[in-house]
Amino acid sequence: MRAIRLFFVVVLAVMLIFLALANRDLVTVSLFPANMSHFIGGQWALTMPIFLALVLAMVVGLLIGLLWEWLREADIRAEAKARGKELARLEREVGDLRRSHAGPRDDVLAILDDSAARPAAGSNLPATR
């Protein structure tokens, strides 16, 4: 499994290197349209190689997707946490019940269980196993 993972990492690295070498031309990326720059002020544009713009777009998309899924699954995580607390409470309750039922029994039942385990005096019956 480790070799397969290493193989895919190497293939991905080679593909990214080829992408970077093939797309070295410069491109200007603007955050706002040109006619809005009068209202906002400052320069909201960057000049960078095309491969860097592609990689940044992929990373930003990945982060947005991760954040979206994390927010979407918040209710599932909350329910799992509540069920975990309920499970811990029930396990404590079962443990308490086991300890209370494993305590001393009624004297009459203890005598009956003890006498049933031994044959009666003068009997030629074998002892119970």
Is the pTM of the predicted complex or chain greater than 0.85? no
Please report whether residue 43 resides in a domain.
Answer: yes
Which letter does DSSP use for residue 121 in this model?
Answer: T
Same domain, 6 and 61: yes
Average pLDDT value for the chain: 85
Same domain, 65 and 87: no
Same domain, 6 and 66: yes
Domain range for 49 is 2-72
Same domain, 62 and 81: no
Same domain, 43 and 13: yes
At residue 42 the predicted structure's pLDDT band, cuts being 50, 70 and 90, is: confident
d(CA 43, CA 122): 110
The tens digit of pLDDT for each residue in 77-97 reads 999 999 999 999 999 999 988
State residue 97's pLDDT score: 87
Report how many domains make up the chain: 2
Alpha carbon distances (Å) from 39 to 33, 36, 45: 11, 5, 15
Q: Answer whether 125's CB lies under 8 Å from 119's CB.
A: yes
